Structure formats: structure tokens, C-alpha cells
Amino acid sequence: MRPEARRALIAGSVGNFIEWYEFGAYGYMATVIAADFFSGDGTTGGAEGLIRTYASFALAFFFRPVGAALFGRVGDRFGRRPALVLALALMTGATTLIGLLPTYATLGAAAPWLLTGARVLQGLSAGGEFGGAVSLLTENAPPGRRGLYGAWQSCTVALGLLAGAGLAAALAMTLGPDALTAWGWRVPFLLAFPLGAVALWLRLTLEESPEFRRIATAGPAADGVPEELPRPLWAVALGIGRIMGWAAAGYTFLVVLPTYLQHTVGTTFQQALTATALANLGFAAAVLPAGALSDRVGRRPVMAAGAALVVLLAFPLLTLLQNATAPTAAKAAALLLAGAAVGAMAGPGPAMLAEMFPPRVRCTGLGLSYALANAVFSGCAGLIVTELAERTGNTGIPAYYAAVTCAISAVALLAPGGGGAPARG
């Protein structure tokens, strides 16, 4: 591996790790945050408080497309490095701010608004992170290894979610519910400051990607756009369809599941986090092999197989988790397999999106596809699942949500439009 490629891999991945560590921490701490910011009496506020917490969660996702457009424009015009530095600085500042915010008990009704404002800043920065990071990783990849390099973006998602889950579980076990609600929930957010400072230093010393340097020197004529690539607007729409299952199933199984298990199935906080950690382990184990496999057989066949597996697994998995007499080993195996199915989509996904757009609009195009898909299908996952389960009393809502979106993605992955052949570089 070339030294500049190795440095790009580290610098591109570490910021993404921090982003998903924080987003995971917010999801895992949803019940505690509901008590501190959306309830005046220090209780969780039941489903209403939780829905408000997830509404704030979803709102941040809807600012991701704005961030993707803003930072994507910077990345396509001035370079991948400046866009990644700005996105990381904003993310680090906003995350640290959440850890310092006064709660409802201290500030009253202004507290949830301040929390939502910080989440909006996070949404803007997260929207710019994906396009720049994936462009940097794939444009530095050696020939025939773009799928593997792009998969590191998804791998750091898994590592970030695992870190968030692990820290949340450790705090819950060591502090107890009173201390966790009083101050312990702040720890994951405050840790983002030193992590972000290290990542920022790495990015400030990073070289620009060779592909961006080439088009910056030679102009648009150096793009070398293959004829089979779709027009950018159609590519964005097609990209959303191809990854909506990844977005929905990923957040359903990897982030929303612990809160769902607590409020719908009646598991303890520790049991719910253990279940989510198992799903994330399966996800992490599958991501890099799936990316490497896509370098041999193509991106879309691997992703379509993962989407089909989620469709087949969603209902049996939920039924198994709701069965109090089912063997623990069977539940663990099912969670690992569900995570691996999402990993099969997430591994080749970044390279697939990168290959759908020419270099001169790559940051913006793939960033918008990813941000819009996640705004609708990830950011709203907790809100949709919680609200529908509350209104209908149907405990199978998460399975319906994951299965339907993955079925649509499987169809979109069959459509022509770039990102389908094995990597050529």
C-alpha cells in the first residue's frame, strides 16, 4: 500500500468513526435523553417523550442533504481535504456542545430546542462527511481494490456504533440509572472532543486525492466519464433507491433495536445493548469481505444478495427475539446473521455510489444520494417504528419496515446505471 493511500485510508475513516460513534450513542441513550430533555419530571415520558427524542434525531438527518450539497460543492470545487476538515470541525464542536447542554430541569423548555439546534449542526456536518470521505478513499484505492477501500467507510460505521454501544453499556452497568440520567450520559459526547482533535490533525496534514488533482489541472475534459453512467439527477434518484434498504435495515437492526426491545418486548437496558452489539458485530465482520468480493464479482450482485437476505430474515428474527423461551444461542446467531446481511449491502455500497458519478461532481452526487436516503429511511426509522407500533399495537413493525425497503432496493439494484461491474481501478 502506498504511504499516501494508507494515510488517506486512516484520515478518511477516522472522522466517519467519530460521526457514527456519536450517532450511535444518541440512539442508545435515547431513553435517558428523553428523560433529561423532553420531560419536566425526570421520567422518560413514556412513548411521547421517546417520540420527541426520535423527532429531534430525525430532524438532524433532514439537514444532511443540505450539508451534502454545501460540503460537496466545496469538495468538488476546492478539494476533498478542505471539505473533510470543515465537516469534522463542525461535527466535533456540535457533539461536544451536546455534552455541555443544560437539561430541562435546569433550563426548562429551551433545553430541547438547544439540543435540537446542536443536532442540526451535526446533521450538516454528517451530510458533508460521507461524500468527501468516500471520494477520498475510492480515489486513492489501488487498481481493482476500490470496493475494499470504500468498504472501510462502512467498517468505521460498525466500529463507531460498537464503540457507542460498548460505552453506553459500560456506563449503564457501572453508574446505575440515577447517575446515568444525572451526568453519565454526557460522557460519550464529551469524548468526541479529544477524538475529533486527533482526526482533525490527520486531515490537516493529508494530501489531496490524485484523481482530484488530475481534474483540477486538466479541467472537465479529464473526467473520462463512461458512456454508461446516468445523468447526475437520475443517478442521485437511482442511488437513493439502491441504498434505501441499507439505510432502513441498518438503523432498524443496529441503532433502533435496543430501544424497541425495551419498550415493546420488555427487555432490560443491558440486554437490549447486548443484542445490538451482536448485530453490529455481524455487520462489522461482513463489511470488508463484502467489499473485497465486490471487486471480483461486482457491487450490485453482492448488495442484492444482502437485501434479499434481510427480506427473508426480518420476520423470523423479530419472532425469535419476542419468544421468551427461545434459546439464547439461537437469538445471538440470528442477530449476527441480520447484521451480516446489512454488512453485505454496506460493504460495496460506497464504491457503487462513487462509480455512479464522474469525479467533478462525485462529492456532491454520492453525498446527496446517501444523505437523502438516510434522511428518510434512517433518520425516521426510530420515529416511524415507535409511532406505528404505538398506534397499531403491531410488534412486527420493524420487520415490515426493513423487509419492504430492502425489497425495493433489490429491484433498484437490477436497473442499469453504473456501479455494477467489478472495479477497474
User: What is the domain-level CATH number for residue 286?
Assistant: 1.20.1250.20
423 in a structural domain: no
> Distance of CA 141 to CAs 3, 198, 316, 369, 370, Å?
12, 23, 39, 21, 20
Number of folded domains that form the chain: 1
pLDDT tens for each residue of 363-386: 999 999 999 998 888 877 777 887
Parent domain of 284: 3-414
Q: pLDDT > 90: what percent of the chain? A: 37
Query: Confidence band (pLDDT; 50, 70, 90) for 423?
Result: very low
Q: Is residue 376 part of a domain?
A: yes
In a domain, 422, yes or no: no
- Per DSSP, helices labelled H in 140-268 are 146-182, 187-190, 192-204, 210-218, 232-251, 257-260
The answer to whether position 424 is within a domain reads no
**Taking CA 55 as the corner, what is the angle to CA 49 and CA 57, rounded to the nearest 5 degrees?**
110
15 pLDDT band (50/70/90 cuts)? confident
Q: Long-range CB contacts (< 8 A, 24+ apart) of 227-233? A: 228/416, 228/417, 228/418, 229/356, 229/357, 229/358, 229/417, 229/418, 230/356, 230/417, 230/418, 232/357, 232/361, 232/365
Q: Is residue 419 part of a domain?
A: no
Per the domain annotation, does 425 fall within a domain? no
> Whole-angstrom Cα distance, residue 63 to residue 30?
20
Model pLDDT for residues 154-207, shown as the tens digit of each residue: 999 888 878 887 888 788 888 888 888 888 989 989 998 998 898 899 899 888
Q: What angle do CA 283, 289, 295 make, to 5 degrees?
A: 130
186 assigned to some structural domain: yes
Residue 118 domain flag: yes
- pLDDT of the residue at 171: 86
